[in-house]
DNA sequence: TGAGGCGAGGGAAACGTTTCCGGGATGTGG
DNA sequence: CCACATCCCGGAAACGTTTCCCTCGCCTCA
């Protein structure tokens, strides 16, 4: 392998016998002389020229990169988003930079501050919590940002929301309709945006169904399988009259299914179970898990599209898009 | 918000009353004068200076970016890798660029050709198939590459392997030991690297256990839940004497579990099931799925570490690291 | 046939850094 | 007290593009 340096536009110009400006024009379609274009292309092939994106970026002031920052790519909801965001961006010639913040608020703010000032043309952000400092940072970003998740109304930033409040409510209403009277809820941390919204939705669902609230039937834990399993086991042991459980995400709901099986209760015969996020887990569990789809894939796609529009120069006022939730009923609640 | 351009190093120099070279030196720790450093830092804060990574990259010839290219980030094995790769790289100051090729060989080659010549300092690649053109491209990359997956021995590139052949064999031996005599195998496409290796391992496992080969008990399909379910249903209907099934990954194995349930067969009583990859799915399924861990997370971490070493200037001959598989026995085969 | 207009292409500046080089100040030893 | 080495810092070049500006040649029209 040759250790030679990559050929530059100067090399191409020399071989083609033209000036570097002409090469640049020919390559960027800013020339009408077909002969010139042909000569340049021939020279490009001859020397194996590949433009330096870095130099281009320096000159043109955009990098062709977009960052997606979230807590943990391991989370199925974020994963669904990435799967849609990446192709959407790629089709428009953008590369995707991935940044997991690991639930570290400082890191998240650091991303906002430094990412946005550098090496990306735009940013899609999924903050788990939104503090005043987030809002402040969002007001000052140097590049367009789209936030996926709940954002105060006065923050001038494009915002794609899932209505997990309505989602939780849908689930509760569905369970009540199916005959459940003692509905338990296993939530994530109450101080997270989704944890809070889902709890509110749960309560409003109870109210809508005319069922009493009972704090004993609610647990706040983590959005994880083991946490859900433990909490469910404890709750169901203490309250054997529970006839339905809503898990704040599919992992928790899977934990609930396992706890029920450990306790010898039949699903959905004795207890109905519904999860949230409608991840691939839901369809493959046993019994297949009813789950509230919050449209993660759609949110990802929409966020990417919004961002692309901004990058295209659209300076309309910030948009708020809410993706409506939908309930996917499977056997676990039928 | 001000529409002013970002301050440059010149701005800082002007405010601090020094030259731009001094600013650069102070910021990069190449000066011993504490007073100078203090003045520069003060000026940096005053004008809100953030260095332009693009300009730095142009000058220093490295970008601080590393790309990870795989077929589909939705695949749990790749996901595990990303989860380890990203923090490992971030801790060393590198950003992660994500590229899903979508099983498109052309695109994969395109990544190799263009990514490697541009905007990344290194590349971690998970090719699903390895063609001659891959090998050719790998020989010519401009930056260090680490390949996760099987690679011909003569390709001079760092390589991290899972021994999925031995992994499949482990599973078969385990099943045979548990008493299985008619072991079926549902594989992915035979013309993929993992599909091939797992098939070979399956056969060598049979041989090791002294069991006859029976092509009727092998199916080649996709690495997906539905494909696994369909193939399993068809196979098990035609061969009710099958007493164990190996799925080439956890998704397939989950499909097998569902097919068995549909057919009213008990797991593990009537039929034992083992999957591969040991994804989070396995632990949450019912019954919990025995699965062969191919060390995805470890492979990701090791690949990242190898790459970092190369970027650090290590020019030892290419390394081949094989991560040994291990079987995680759960209830589905107990 | 000559003047004016137009288009194509070359020269050079600029993007924002890092780093080489050289000059002046400072310190040290004879 | 002078010569020489040392250290700091400023000037300027360079990284590889894009693009502005200007010149030159050609074509058209009077």
Consecutive H or E run containing A109? helix A105-110
Residue B251 is predicted with a pLDDT of 93
Same CATH fold assignment for domains B65-162+296-324 and B164-293:
yes
Residue B116 is predicted with a pLDDT of 65
Total-model pTM: 0.86
The residue to which tokens 């647990």 are assigned: A219
User: Residue B268 in contact with residue B334, Cβ under 8 Å?
Assistant: yes
**Average pLDDT value for residue range A42-64:** 93
As a CATH number, domain A164-293 is 3.40.50.2300
Question: Which nucleotide minimizes the distance between its C1' and the CA of A25?
Answer: D18
Residue A4 is predicted with a pLDDT of 59
Contact criterion met (CB < 8 Å) for A98 and B98: yes
Between B55, B83, B100, which is nearest A58 by CB?
B55
pLDDT-derived band of residue A111, with 50, 70 and 90 as boundaries? confident
Percent with pLDDT over 90 in chain A: 71
**Average pLDDT value for residue range B232-254:** 96
Closest CA-bearing residue to C1' of D12: B21
Pairing of strands A158-162, A320-323: parallel
In chain B, which residue's Cα lies nearest the Cα of A65? B97
Nearest residue to A96 via CA among B303, B301, B119: B119
User: Residue B250 in contact with residue B198, Cβ under 8 Å?
Assistant: no
Q: How close B98 gets to chain A, by Cα (Å)?
A: 6
State the first-to-last Cα distance of chain B, in angstroms, to the nearest integer.
65
Give chain B positions within 8 Å (CB) of A97: 65, 95-98
Tell me the pLDDT tens digit for each residue of B172-231: 999 999 999 999 999 999 988 889 999 999 999 999 999 999 999 999 999 999 999 999
Contact criterion met (CB < 8 Å) for A280 and B225: yes
In chain B, which residue's Cα lies nearest the Cα of A57? B54
The answer to whether A49 CB sits below 7 Å from nucleic acid chain D is: yes
Give chain B positions within 8 Å (CB) of A65: 97, 119
Q: What's the gap between Cα B176 and its chain centre? A: 30
The answer to whether B25 CB sits below 7 Å from nucleic acid chain C is: yes
Measure the CA–CA gap between B88 and B298, rounded to whole angstroms.
11
Percent with pLDDT over 70 in chain B: 96
- Does position B138 have pLDDT exceeding 90, yes or no? no
Give chain A positions within 8 Å (CB) of B82: 73, 98
Mean pLDDT of chain A: 91
User: Residue B245 in contact with residue B276, Cβ under 8 Å?
Assistant: no
Question: Which nucleotide minimizes the distance between its C1' and the CA of A31?
Answer: C8
- Burial bucket for residue B322 (CB in 10 Å: 0-12, 13-18, 19+): middle
The answer to whether B118 CB sits below 7 Å from nucleic acid chain C is: no
Measure the CA–CA gap between A7 and B120, rounded to whole angstroms.
17
Q: How far is CA A220 from CA A75, A168, A200, A224, B260, in A?
A: 18, 15, 13, 11, 36
- Does position A179 have pLDDT exceeding 70, yes or no? yes
- Does position A107 have pLDDT exceeding 90, yes or no? no
Give chain A positions within 8 Å (CB) of B53: 118-119
Residue B6 is predicted with a pLDDT of 86
The answer to whether A63 CB sits below 7 Å from nucleic acid chain C is: no
Contact criterion met (CB < 8 Å) for B58 and A63: no
The answer to whether A211 CB sits below 7 Å from nucleic acid chain D is: no
Measure the CA–CA gap between A281 and A277, rounded to whole angstroms.
10
Tell me the pLDDT tens digit for each residue of A112-133: 777 667 789 999 998 877 888 8
At residue A158, the 3 state secondary structure works out as strand
Contact criterion met (CB < 8 Å) for B119 and A53: yes
**Average pLDDT value for residue range B315-332:** 94
As a CATH number, domain B65-162+296-324 is 3.40.50.2300
Residue A253 is predicted with a pLDDT of 97
Indicate the domain borders of chain A.
9-51, 65-162+296-324, 164-293
Hey, CA dihedral for A81, A93, B132, B306, is it positive or negative?
Answer: negative
Measure the CA–CA gap between B63 and B61, rounded to whole angstroms.
7
How many Å from the CA of A33 to C1' of D26? 15
């Amino acid at each position: 392998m040759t250790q030679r340096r990559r050929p530059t536009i100067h090399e191409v110009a020399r071989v083609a016998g033209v000036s570097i400006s002409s090469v640049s024009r020919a390559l960027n379609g800013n020339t009408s002389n077909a002969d010139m274009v042909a000569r340049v292309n021939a020279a490009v092939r001859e020397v194996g020229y590949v433009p330096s994106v870095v130099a281009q970026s320096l000159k043109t002031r955009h990098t062709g990169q977009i960052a997606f920052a979230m807590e943990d790519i391991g989370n199925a909801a974020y994963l669904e988003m990435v799967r849609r965001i990446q192709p959407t961006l790629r089709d428009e010639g953008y590369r995707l930079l991935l940044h997991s913040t690991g639930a570290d608020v400082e890191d998240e703010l650091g991303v906002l501050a430094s990412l946005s000032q550098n090496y990306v043309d735009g940013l899609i952000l999924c903050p788990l919590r939104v503090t005043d400092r987030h809002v402040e940072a969002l007001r000052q970003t140097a590049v367009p940002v789209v936030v996926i998740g709940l954002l105060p109304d006065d923050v001038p930033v494009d915002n794609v929301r899932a209505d997990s409040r309505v989602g939780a409510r849908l689930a509760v209403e569905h369970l009540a309709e199916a005959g459940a009277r003692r509905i338990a809820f296993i939530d994530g941390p109450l101080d997270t945006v989704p944890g809070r919204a889902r709890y509110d939705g749960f309560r409003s669902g109870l109210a809508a169904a005319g069922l009493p609230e009972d704090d004993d039937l609610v647990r706040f834990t983590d959005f994880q399988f083991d946490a859900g399993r433990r909490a469910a086991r404890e709750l169901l042991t203490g309250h054997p009259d529970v006839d339905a459980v809503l898990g704040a995400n599919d992992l928790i709901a899977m934990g609930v299914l396992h706890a029920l099986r450990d306790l010898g209760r039949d699903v959905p015969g004795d207890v109905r179970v519904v999860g949230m996020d409608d991840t691939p887990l839901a369809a493959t569990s046993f019994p297949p898990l009813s789950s509230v789809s919050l449209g993660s894939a759609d949110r990802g796609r929409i966020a990417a599209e919004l961002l692309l529009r901004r990058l295209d120069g659209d300076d309309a006022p910030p948009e708020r898009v809410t993706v409506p939730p939908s309930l996917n009923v499977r056997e676990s609640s039928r």
